[in-house]
Structure 1
Amino acid sequence: MRIDSSSSDPVAESFGLGRLPAAVQWLLLVCLSAPLAAGFESIGLPAGLLMGPMLAGIVIGMNGGTIRLPGTFFFLVQVVLAMMIAGMVSPDLAGTFLSRWPLFLAIVLSVIAVSTLSGWVMTRMRILPGTTAIWGSSAGAASTMLLMAGAYGADVRLVAFMQYLRVVFVATLATLVARFAGQQAAGGEQTMFFAPVDLISVALTLAVGIGCGFAGRRLRVPAGAFLAPFAIGSTLSLTGTLHVELPQWLLALAFALLGWNIGLGFTRSILQHARRAVLPTIVSIVVLIGFSGVLAVMLVATLGIDPMTAYLATSPGGLDSIAVIAASSNVDLSFVMALQTARLVIITVAGPFIARFVADRA
C-alpha cells in the first residue's frame, strides 16, 4: 500500500531527527532495522524482515524523521513481491476463484459493508470532521480514497492516518497469529541470502515484472504495479514459459522497503493532529478485524480449510503485506491470493462509489 504523506506540515516535523541530514536519517533507519529484523527472524516470526523495518520506520517517523520512500523504489518493491508470489502459486489459483466466486463476492461485500458502517457511525457521532471517517474506514483502495476525500473537503491527513493504522494492525496481528499458531514456514535453516542463482532467469523475471508493472500503471489497472506482474507472471510460470527466480537478498530488501514505506508514514505531527481520532479509529479497526475473523471461522467450518489460510484470506489488507506473510507461512497461497485479489479489485471498483454514496447522505 502506498499513501502520500507529503501533505503533512514540514515545519511541524523540523524537530528531533528531522534536523539531521537525510543521509544520516537513512543510516539510523538501517542501523535500527537490521537488529530488529534479525531478532524477529531468530525467534521464527513470519515476515520478520518486514516487521522489523516497519517498527524501525515508525520509531524514526515518530521522532521527527522526514525521509520517505521514493515512488520508484515502491514500484520496484511491488514488482518484486508480485513476481515472488507468481512463482509460488499453484495451478489451481484460477480454479479456486471461479469455483467459489459467489462466496468470495459475499465475503468482500460484507467487509465493505462493515467498514462503511463504521465510517458512517463515526461521521454521525462527529468524531472526525466532515466525511473524513467514511474515506478513512475503507478496507482498501487507499490512494483512491485519499483523492476523493480531498475532493469532498475531508481531512486527507486523517484519512491517511486511518489507512496506515489499519495496515499496521492487520500486518502485526497476522504475523503474530501465524507465529503462535505454529504456521511459520518450514525449513528453519539459515537463509542463504547470497546463494548462487541463474542470472538469466533472474533477468527475465525482473524484465517481465517491470514491463507488466509499467503496463498495469499505464492501463490504470487497480494496484496495477502488483496485480499485472502477478497475473502475467503466474500464467507464464504455470505454463512453464518462465522460470521465476529471485535472489534472497533482493527479496529481503523488498520486504524491508515495504516495511519502511508503512512505518515512515507515522509522524508525530500526524498523530497529534489525529489524537482525538485515535481511540475511535482503533475501535473501528478492531471491529473490522474481528468481523474478518468471524468470516475466517465460517470458511473453516464450511470449506474445511486450515484456520491460518482462512484468516489471511479474509484479512482486510494491505495486499502486499498479507502476501509477504502468506509466503512466509504454511498456508494455501492460491486461496489467500485469490480472495485477497478479489477483495482489492472489488473494493477499488465499488468502494469509492459506496463511500461517495454514504458521504452524500451523512
Structure 2
Amino acid sequence: MAPWAVLIALSVGLGGFLLWIHAPAALLLGPLLAGIVLSASGGKVRFPLTPFVLAQGIVGCLIARMVPLSIVDDVLRHWVLFTAGVVLVVAASSLLGVVITRLQLLPGTTGLWGSSAGAASVMTLMSEEYGADARLVALMQYLRVVLVAAVAALVARLFGVSPAHAPSAIVWFPPVDWLSLAETLALAAIGPLVARWLRIPAGAFLVPLVAGIVLTHFGLMTIELPTWLLAASYAFVGWNVGLRFTRPLLIHAAKVLPLILGATLVLIALCGAIAVLMVWGAGVDPLTAYLATSPGGSDSIAIIAASTSVDVSFVMAMQTVRMIAVLFVAPVLTKFIADRLETGRRR
C-alpha cells in the first residue's frame, strides 16, 4: 500500500505545481512524471488494468463531448490534407528507422520498430522476430509518448495558450446530473468491452469516442464528466505510461539512452516540420497543426487538446486517421523494410 500512497502524493504535488504555473494538461503530466520518478527509483506498483481501460473510455467520452458529428465531413472535404499529413508522418518515422538500422546504431532492427509512429504494443511484440531488442523498442515507443506530451504542453505554453480554467476557478465537485453520469460511465465501460469483442485496435479509446459523438449528436445521451472524474482518469492515463520506466529497463538501456532520446527528438522535430508545412500550405493554426501531427500518444494529445484553445475536431480527426493507418499499415510496412534490410545484409 505504501508505493500507492507515494505515487498519489507525488502526483498531487507535481500536478498541483504544474497547475500553479498554468501548464497545459497539468493533471496528466503530474501523474505521468510521478510514475516515472517512482518506477525509476525502484518503487513497484501493481497497476490494475480495469481502471486504466475505463479511464481511456472516459477520455474518449471527453473528446466526444467536444467533437461534432461533422468531423466525418471535415475529413472527407480535406482528405488530401489528412492523407498528406498521415503519409508524411509515417514516412518520417520509417526513414528515421531505416537510417538507425543501416548505421547499426541499435541492435538489429530495433531502431526500425522503435521509430514507428504508434502501435507501440504491436511493434514491441513483433520486433523480437526480426532481431530487435524488444525492451529497447518498448522504451523508444513509450519515451516518445512522454516527450510528445511534454513538448506539446511546452509548445502550447510558448504560443501563449493557458489551460481552459485557471487553478482558482477549478470546481472539483460541481453539481452532477447523476443519470447522465451513469450513462457516461456505462459508455466508458461498455465501449472497451465491445472493442475487445470486435478486436478493434485502440478501441478502449476509439469506441466510446465514436459512439459518444453519434449518441450526443442525436440527443440520445448527455455526457457528464465532473472534474474529479476527469482528474482520476488523467492520472491513470499518466501512470500507465510513467510506471513503464522501471529501473531494470533504464539500466539495460543506459548505454544507448542518449541515442534513443536523440532519435525521439529528431522524430518529433520532423513531425514539427510537417506541422509547419500545414500552417504555410493550408492555413492551419500552429498549435492545432503541431498537436495533429504529433507522433504517438493519442490519448495524451487528446487531453492536451481538450485543455487548450485549439481546433479539437481537426486534431482528433488527424490523430484518429493516423492511428488507424499506423495500426494496419505500419506493422506490414515495417516488416517489409526489415525483410529488405536483412536481405541486403546477406548479399
TM bin (shorter chain): over 0.9
1:29 aligns with 2:7: yes
Aligned to 1:264: 243
- C-alpha separation between the residues in 1 aligned to 2:130 and 2:280? 42
Identity %: 49
Tell me how far 1:305 sits from its aligned partner.
Answer: 2.4
Q: Distance in 2 between matches of 1:258 and 1:72?
A: 12
SS in 1 for 2:169: coil
1:322 paired residue number: 301
Partner of 2:186: 207
What one-letter code is carried by the residue in structure 2 that aligns with 1:116? Answer: S
Preserved contact between residue 68 and residue 264 of structure 1 (Cα < 8 Å): no
Shift of 1:277: 2.2
Give the aligned partner of residue 159 of structure 1: 137
1:288 and 2:297 aligned: no
Number of residue pairs matched by the alignment: 340
Return 342-351 or 102-111, whichever deviates more. Answer: 102-111
CA distance in 1, matches of 2:252, 2:105: 13
Structure-1 residue corresponding to 2:345: none
Q: Deviations over 1:218-270 (max 9, x none)?
A: 11112011111100111111222211111210100011111111111112211
Cα distance in structure 1, aligned partners of 2:35 and 2:278:
35
Q: Which structure 2 residue ranges, 5 or more long, are not aligned?
A: 342-347
Greater shift, 324-333 or 242-251, is seen at: 242-251
TM-score by length of 1: 0.91
Equivalences for residues 173-192 of structure 1 within 5 A: 173-188=151-166, 189-192=168-171
Structure 1 unmatched ranges of 5 or more? 1-22
Q: Which residue does the alignment assign to 1:104?
A: 82
Alignment correspondent of 2:212: 233
Cα pair 2:124 2:134 within 8 Å, conserved: yes
- What one-letter code is carried by the residue in structure 2 that aligns with 1:202? L
- Tell me what 1:3 maps to: none
1:112 touches 1:351 (CA, 8 Å); kept in 2? yes
| Distance in 1 separating the partners of 2:98 and 2:282 | 33
* Paired letter, 1:77: A
Which deviates the most, 137-146 or 267-276? 267-276
Distance 1:296 1:335 in 2: 13
TM-score when normalising by structure 2: 0.95
Q: Aligned-pair RMSD on alpha carbons?
A: 1.3
Partner residue in 1 for 2:17: 39
Native 8 Å contact 1:86 1:231 kept in 2: yes
Please give the alpha-carbon distance, in whole angstroms, between the structure 1 residues aligned to 2:207 and 2:79.
Answer: 20
Equivalent residues of 2:57, 2:204 under 8 A apart:
yes
Distance 1:356 1:260 in 2: 31
- Superposed counterparts of 1:217-228, under 5 Å: 217-228=196-207
* Partner residue, 2:344: none
1:297 is matched by which residue type in structure 2? Answer: V
Among candidates 326, 329, 334, match of residue 313 of structure 2: 334
The structure 2 residue matched to 1:113, chosen from 64, 88, 91, is 91
Q: Which runs of 4+ in 1 moved over 6 A?
A: none
What is the letter of the counterpart of residue 227 of structure 1? Answer: L
Q: 2:70 aligns with which of 92, 95, 98?
A: 92
Is the counterpart of residue 82 in structure 1 residue 63 in structure 2? Answer: no
The letter of the residue matching 1:114 is A
TM-superposed CA distance for 1:132, in Å, is 1.5
Residue equivalent to 1:10: none
- Rounded to whole Å, the distance in 2 between the matches of 1:224 and 1:355 is 22
Partner of 2:172: 193
CA distance in 1, matches of 2:46, 2:235: 13
Q: CA shift at 1:276, angstroms?
A: 2.7
Q: Residue 25 of structure 2 aligns to which amino acid in structure 1? A: A
